[in-house]
Amino acid sequence: MIRFRSFRNQDPPRLAALWQSAALGPLAIQPMTTALLETAVFSKPYFDRHGLIVATDDDGTILGFAHAGFGPNLERTALDRSSGSIVMLVVPPHEQAGLVAAGLVESGRRYLHEHGATTVFAGGGPTLGGFYLGLYGGADLPGILDSSLAMQHSFQTLGFLEHERIVVARRSLVGFRSPIDRVQVAIRRSTQLTAIDEPDRRNWWEAALTAGICLRRYDLRARDTTVLATALFWDMQPMAAACGVAAAGLLDLQVVPERRREGLASYLLAEAMHDLGSEGISVVEAHAQASNTAATGLLTKLGYETTCLGTIYREPQVAVEPPQATTAAD
């Protein structure tokens, strides 16, 4: 009999071992440890043990787990419970894998709906859940990667629909030089660029999400010191260490609305990349929604190459009945 229950304090070592035995693809950190899970999952102030559902057999052996959670509100001051996501589904291959995955997904959906969600997604993103940054997907949370075939197959089988495709792109900084043209020269003459290590977090969500990782923010200011654009990077540990390269991930790139379409984003990103390269960073990674042609065009212009794609799914309008299983009371 397959049983489903909430997370318990003694689970982390077994969840780490389960992660290592699952086929999550090359952008899932290996080997997984309890310390990594503590930093990126359990220590988050919005972690709710009831959102991390564990599947076991009658002997208590863990067969898989799913993790459901909520993203931030527009002000980034609290959780928005109107929608949520099953951000992770880990089920190693075995004869009951399909039953386990279906039961875990249904348990995750039930948790999210019972806590106020009217829409349920599958896969993490910048505003969907806030777990596993640095452990899965690289620079940011990429939905469910194409390289995580079993995870994608589970949601597709259960009728989840494609909501958004995410592009994972990388650029080598070896020999990188900022492009020079008339627009870039004019921006350089009229602005100043400031790099800030370990900047103050701008809101509650950013503070909670990035706790324990090193940040660098680049501010592009007008001569009167007005901030025109910002780019936020993080030191991609431990993912970079596992790949044997010094890498930085782009977490956020913003231009004030009244100054968009003036080349500021291109200038800022290129100058930040040049600065990172001068300090020993050899690779920079960025994610973008495939439907955001401005973002993907900017990355292409600066020489980024797509290395993988991910998908954020949305639950079907009519719930798919899961296989019968027993749900534990806790």
CATH at residue 106? 3.40.630.30
Q: Mean per-residue pLDDT for 107-134?
A: 95
Indicate the length of the chain as a whole number.
330
Is pLDDT at 297 greater than 70 in this prediction? yes
Say if residue 44 is in the same domain as residue 137: yes
Say if residue 182 is in the same domain as residue 119: no
pLDDT digits (tens, 9 = 90+) for 254-264: 999 999 999 99
Q: Examine residue 76 and state whether it is found in any structural domain, yes or no.
A: yes
The pLDDT, as a whole number, for residue 129 is 87
Q: Examine residue 256 and state whether it is found in any structural domain, yes or no.
A: yes
Dihedral angle computed from the Cα positions of residues 162, 24, 64 and 42, in that order, rounded to the nearest 10 degrees: -90
**E strands along 106-208, which residues?**
119-122, 144-145, 161-172, 191-197
Is pLDDT at 320 greater than 50 in this prediction? no
Give the lowest-confidence range in 29-33, 71-75, 236-240, 298-302: 236-240
Is pLDDT at 214 greater than 90 in this prediction? yes
Say if residue 281 is in the same domain as residue 243: yes
Q: What is the Cα–Cα distance from 229 to 220, expressed in whole angstroms?
A: 5
Give SS3 for 322: coil
Q: Examine residue 202 and state whether it is found in any structural domain, yes or no.
A: yes
- Percent of the chain whose pLDDT exceeds 70: 94
pLDDT digits (tens, 9 = 90+) for 12-27: 999 999 999 999 999 9
Under the banding of pLDDT at 50, 70 and 90, the label for residue 219 is very high
Say if residue 29 is in the same domain as residue 156: yes
Q: Mean per-residue pLDDT for 318-329?
A: 48
Say if residue 175 is in the same domain as residue 302: yes
Largest distance between two CA atoms of the chain = 70
- Residue 125's alpha-carbon distances to 56, 128, 170, in angstroms, are 28, 5, 18
Q: Examine residue 89 and state whether it is found in any structural domain, yes or no.
A: yes
Q: What is the Cα–Cα distance from 65 to 59, expressed in whole angstroms?
A: 16
In terms of residue numbers, what domain contains 102?
A: 3-160+315-327
Q: Mean per-residue pLDDT for 136-150?
A: 95
Task: Name beta bridge partners: 64.
Answer: 55
What lies within 8 Å, CB to CB, of 21 at 6+ separation is: 92
The pLDDT, as a whole number, for residue 254 is 96
Say if residue 131 is in the same domain as residue 199: no
- Total domains, the chain: 2
Exposed, middle or buried, 177 (CB in 10 Å: 0-12/13-18/19+)? exposed
Q: Mean per-residue pLDDT for 112-138?
A: 94
Q: Examine residue 165 and state whether it is found in any structural domain, yes or no.
A: no
What lies within 8 Å, CB to CB, of 293 at 6+ separation is: none
Do 141 and 40 form a contact (C-beta atoms < 8 A)? no
Say if residue 91 is in the same domain as residue 195: no
Q: Among 165, 249, 242, 166, which residue's Cα sits nearest to residue 210?
A: 249
Say if residue 297 is in the same domain as residue 227: yes
- Residue 154's alpha-carbon distances to 117, 147, 151, 169, 318, in angstroms, are 21, 13, 5, 25, 17
Say if residue 155 is in the same domain as residue 7: yes
What lies within 8 Å, CB to CB, of 228 at 6+ separation is: 191, 220, 221, 222, 255, 256, 259, 264
Under the banding of pLDDT at 50, 70 and 90, the label for residue 126 is confident
Q: Examine residue 30 and state whether it is found in any structural domain, yes or no.
A: yes
Say if residue 9 is in the same domain as residue 152: yes
pLDDT digits (tens, 9 = 90+) for 225-267: 999 999 999 999 766 666 678 999 999 999 999 999 999 999 9
The pLDDT, as a whole number, for residue 244 is 76
Say if residue 282 is in the same domain as residue 135: no
Is pLDDT at 319 greater than 60 in this prediction? no
For the entire predicted model, the pTM comes to 0.92
Q: Examine residue 81 and state whether it is found in any structural domain, yes or no.
A: yes
Q: What is the Cα–Cα distance from 5 to 175, expressed in whole angstroms?
A: 52
Q: Examine residue 166 and state whether it is found in any structural domain, yes or no.
A: no
Q: What is the Cα–Cα distance from 264 to 218, expressed in whole angstroms?
A: 12
Say if residue 148 is in the same domain as residue 201: no
